[in-house]
Chain A
Amino acid sequence: MTLPKREKQAVQPIRILLAEDNPNDAEMARRELSRESIEFHDMIVDGEEEFRRALDDFKPHLVISDYAMPAFDGMRALEITRSRPERIPFIILTGSINEETAVDCLKAGADDYVLKEKIKRLPFAVRDVLAKEQARRDKAQAQEQLRRNEEKFRLIAENSIDCLWQMDMEHRYTYVSPSLPRILGFTPEEFIGTRFSDHAPEQEVTRIGEVARRMLENPQQFPHISIETTMFHKDGSLVPLEVVAKPLFVGDELAMILGSARDISERKQAEAALRENEKRFRELADMLPVVIFETDRQGNIHYANQQASSVFKYPLEDLVTELSIFDMIAPEERDRARDTFAKRLRGEVFGMINYAGLTKSGKRFPMLVRMSPIPADEVVAGFRGIVVDISKEREMLAKLDAIQKRFRILFEFAPDSFFITDLRGRIVEANRQAGKMLQRRQAELIGKSLASRFRLGEEERRQWRKLLTRSNKGLPTEMEEFTLTRPDGSSIVAEISTYPVRIGSKTQILAIARDITAHRQLQTELENHRESLEQLVKTRTRELKKALLDSEANRDRIDTILKSVSDGLIVTDVNKHIILMNTPAEEYLDLRFTECINRKINDVTHHRPLIDLIQLAFDESISVQADVEIVGKTSEAHVLEAAAKPISVKKGKPIGILTTLRDVTRTREIDRLRTEFLSTTAHELRTPLTSIQGFSEILLTRKNLKKADKDKFLSYINRQAVNLAGIISDLLDISRIESGVGFEIRKGPCRLNDIIAGRIELYRLSYRDHRFTTDLQAPDQPVCADKEKIDQIMQNLLSNAVKYSPDGGEVHVNTEIKNDEFRVTIKDRGIGMTRDQVRNIFRKFYRANSSDTAPPGTGLGMSIVKLILDKHGGWIDIDSRPGVGTKVVFAIPIDTNKIDRDPVQGENQP
């Protein structure tokens, strides 16, 4: 038996009631107790009455009583002590006692007995008894406490929503509060005696078992456990519970386990809902275009949404684990941020604050930050906030600013006068032009009423007020005219229109005034002009209409004539305005009637002669005719016979001129050629005649002429006569061809060499200055041809050869048969011809040199030569070089019966 720990014992000395009649024994007892250092106060009694009193007053902790006393014995003392409510330890002290007696005493309730012979044992017995008593007391107290607790517990349990339970050491429920049915459907009776494992799923049993074991092994470390678990409801469903369990020790021993169980279904649901909300919040937060974040008290970021990552360019991970909000701010502004943050922690509230944000890559952008504290009890746990990237807004603002500036410039420098007035018409702003219009400095206009600045009259003020009223209603107005008087007295007419505008929160009026004074004047003038013009046009039209429509028959006749003639017709009136023009006239003058109608003829054409002709006809009231030259579209010149005749409806001045235009180009040309031809012919005829007349007179009048001379002169006469005959013959041929009678070829077999040789001989005689050589190689076979015509060809070619070599010289003739053709070549070394001259040589009347100095000729010869050859089916070719000479080659098919081309087409070309 171990001594009870001193701490448990009361410090104060114990009170011992000693019931002993023998003082020596009492003394002995006292002595023994002192020896063992037991602190005590004692009281010695030996009578029952004293004893009782002592019990009341002395209130001993311990009674030591002698067994055998005369007055009253130990047993009686014991009885009395035991009858008292409090339990007082009782030791019997006796001289001798036998076993039975001792047992009786113990049975009667004594705690111990000590033999006087073994008095040394007394202190130990005392301590022992006291300890036991203490222990008993403790235990009783504990049990009382326990009972009271239990009582309290039951009270709570019965009134608690949570289910309170008690479990014994075998983990069997010993008590379950009445809340059980509400939670798990079972009645407490159904639960008592059962175990947790009977009502929970496998894994819960295992888990809880584990936890419980740990708790019980280390009661200091786990004074209690609070754990979530599930148990089966009576209906089979699983109910989530929060269970609190606490082991209850009585002394060192585990007496029981107490606990509570709370139905946390609602809480679970709430948690689930919360999680759901949390999730939804996160999703929403991630979708929102603003950055959402949460920080702790130091500013470290604990939560950031997806946007935070995109805006600041950090991975979400890093933001939430490594970074603080200050990392998101540009370094130069961090101090300000920290400052504000500190103030927030102290409870100051701020609205949206502007910072320069900083991305991971170092890019800066303007942002607005708003934060509010996350409270936790009395203290701020952290902050929740949003960041809005306002770079775009900044841009917008800058753009807006630029637009504003531009507007300012437009307003200020507009060519019209711009005023901005309040709703009462008082000028708030005026642009430069406004100042100019009103001859005042812009500053002078501000604050004054627009009506007074314009110096409007009564009527106009009313008008202006109407405009204001409309503007007040928020409606724009049409342009209205006002007459304004300026400081210098001059007045101007202005068109004013008003527009209500919203500038900021105010509605104001934009009035635009345009000076239309000059414009008005112009309009008036124009109006006057127009009127007089109208009058003129009316008069003219009337006159013309009258003239032309006066006689229906005339008009119809003219129309018919106009349409049917092929000559150009133009009708002009007294003012030389073109009234009518037909198609041929249009073509001649390259005009369109629709474009010329009623316009002056000198305005539509530059043809002076025509214009003059018409003018003359009108001025003199006579018919005039003249040839006028017109250059056509393709630049050929046409000769028109223009005849202008005055048109008179009644006696007096004509009302117009009728001009006819006839294209006489061809006619004139032919006339010209004919005239030329005749004049040339006449001249040609004169030349031989001079010789004939002259020399014949000489022969007749001079008597003393030498014979040689006489012969010479006669040969001259002869040759010229022959020449003359040739010319006349040519003329006759031409006249025959022209008259269409035709030009007959009579073919027969001819010895062409003979004909050619004969003609050459004659020429030798006539032209002594020229040398004629021949090389007549062609055989003597006959050729089918017209003898005379071939001779004619030879005459023409030979005379040309002679004519165009005025210096004399050789003329060589050669004949041959080639390709079944009789070919003749005549060569001379004369002046030759240019390519142009060669080209045109066969044209009728063509003279290579038609000036007065040209060699004589009618220009007909070669065309006749061509005609003859065509009729024979032959050809002619000329090769000539100016200054060198000419070679003419012609050929006729030997049997010309086979070939006979009709030359009609080529013949009549001039």
Chain B
Amino acid sequence: MKTILIVDDQMEVCELVDVTLSADDVRIIKASKGDEAIEIAQREKPDLIIMDIMMPGKINGIEATRILKSDKSTRHISILMLTAKGQDRDLEEGFKAGADAYFIKPFSPLELIRKVEEVFES
């Protein structure tokens, strides 16, 4: 059973990812804030976190990534950045913060499935 945590301030996007990825052997947890994400990650220890970079609140996606990657207990969790096209600067920051991969929205759900499989394989 794989656990995937999706973090995005837009509920629709979380739902879309949920619909796309959930399966018998895949559990989806949804979060809409960075601090929420950290808490869930520490607790549930998901196998993958799909993190929207742009989120309101004190802890945005990049900050959350940084925190999770520096925490011994969550360091090992792969983080997939979800970003709008053309935000090269944010991507750079994200990678610096320790993100493992990125994915652009708007996206095709099928392509997302493929990407996730890719991440799990690596």
Contact = CB atoms under 8 A, between A and B. Distances in A.
* A, B in one complex: yes
Interface stretch (A611-619, A657-665, A680-688): A680-688
Interface in B86-122: 86-87, 90, 105-110
B16 A852 contact: no
B20 interface: yes
Interface in B30-74: 32, 53-57, 60
B110 A690 contact: no
B90 A852 contact: yes
B16 A694 contact: yes
A765 B110 CA distance: 29
Contact of A697 (B12, B56, B108): B108
Nearest to B62: A852
A690 B106 contact: yes
Contacts of B106: 686, 689-690, 692-694
A10 interface: no
Nearest to A682: B86
B12 A691 contact: yes
A769 B86 CA distance: 31
Q: Is the interface of A mostly helix, strand, loop or mixed?
A: helix
Given A679-B86, A682-B84, A716-B12, A694 B109 contact: yes
B19 interface: yes
Contacts of B60: 851-853
Interface residues of B, number: 27
Contacts of A701: 109-110
Interface string B1-42: 000000001111101100110000000000010000000000
B56 A690 contact: no
A853 B54 contact: yes
A694 B107 contact: yes
A713 B85 CA distance: 24
Nearest to A852: B54
Chain B at the A interface: SS class: loop
B20 A698 contact: yes
Given A679-B86, A698-B19, A687 B10 contact: yes
B54 A683 contact: yes
Contacts of A769: 11
Contact of A693 (B10, B32, B107): B107
Contacts of B56: 806, 849, 853-855
Which of B16, B32, B86 gathers the greatest number of chain A CB atoms within 10 Å? B16
Contacts of A849: 56
A720 interface: yes
Contacts of A720: 12
A698 B16 contact: yes
A222 to B, nearest CB: 152
A453 to B, nearest CB: 89
A743 interface: no
Nearest to B57: A853
Contact of A853 (B10, B19, B20, B55): B55
Residue of B12, B13, B19, B110 most packed against chain A (CB within 10 A): B12
Contacts of A690: 10, 12-13, 16, 105-107
The 8 A-B residue pairs whose C-beta atoms are closest, nearest first, are A689-B106, A690-B106, A694-B16, A690-B105, A693-B106, A686-B84, A853-B60, A853-B56
Interface of B: 9-13, 15-16, 19-20, 32, 53-57, 60, 84-87, 90, 105-110
Given A682-B86, A852-B54, 14 more contacts: A682-B85, A686-B85, A686-B105, A687-B105, A690-B105, A691-B12, A693-B108, A694-B16, A694-B20, A694-B108, A713-B19, A806-B9, A849-B56, A852-B90
Interface of A: 679, 682-683, 686-687, 689-695, 697-698, 701-702, 709, 713, 716, 720, 769, 806, 849, 851-855
8 contacts: A682-B86, A686-B106, A687-B105, A690-B16, A693-B106, A693-B108, A694-B107, A698-B19
